[in-house]
Amino acid sequence: MALPTVAASMVQLDDLLAAAGANDSIKNYITARKITTTPTLALIAKDVERFTTHIIHPYITGTRIDGTDHKVEDGQDDVATAIMTHLFVEATRQWTAAASSPLPAPAAIPAPAAAPPTTATPAIPDRPPKTFSAWNQQVNIYEERRCGWNMASCSKEEPTEWVPKGLFSTIDGANAARRPTS
């Protein structure tokens, strides 16, 4: 089951167009501008002024998109501007409301089963620790798991002499020994 999205909680663009009273000319223009969803309409501009400049004004003056002329009908400039501004403001309002409210948790996901009690191992948090003491605790837990109960068996020092462990390492070592030091 897919998690709910902000777009899922918004009104469909066709319903929004009908509620705003958009005629076929406005619907065709919005579709020609590739605005096919309410979230796209809400996010196409940062504010009403930019929406007016980039979307409404070209429609009022007339524009050609994909070989089709889109222009408001004579004498309907104010009505078309009001309808398109209403569309943008309503889409933006829905986007803001849906994005700011927490999405409901899906009910179909079962709760995880209770884990059996563990011995002397504190729960590891989801985030990295921010204090030295918390890091020290994590390091101690790691060392206990790595070395078991006998900390003396864990070698904390690396061997002092390097030994090549592969063909390329051997070749690199031989080349380094051959090169003059000057």
Task: Split the chain (182 residues) into runs of 10 and give each run's mean pLDDT.
Answer: 71 89 91 91 91 92 91 90 92 86 57 58 66 81 74 63 71 71 58
CA distance 150 to 179: 46
pLDDT at 152: 62
CA distances in angstroms from 179 to 33, 167, 175, 176, listed in the order given: 68, 19, 6, 6
pLDDT at 171: 77
In the chain, which residue ranges form alpha helices assigned H by DSSP?
13-20, 24-32, 38-43, 48-51, 57-61, 77-100, 132-147, 167-178
Of the candidates 66, 76, 74, 70, which has an alpha carbon nearest to the alpha carbon of residue 58? 70
pLDDT at 164: 63
Mapped onto helix, strand or coil, the DSSP state of residue 76 is coil
pLDDT at 113: 61
CA distance 112 to 121: 20
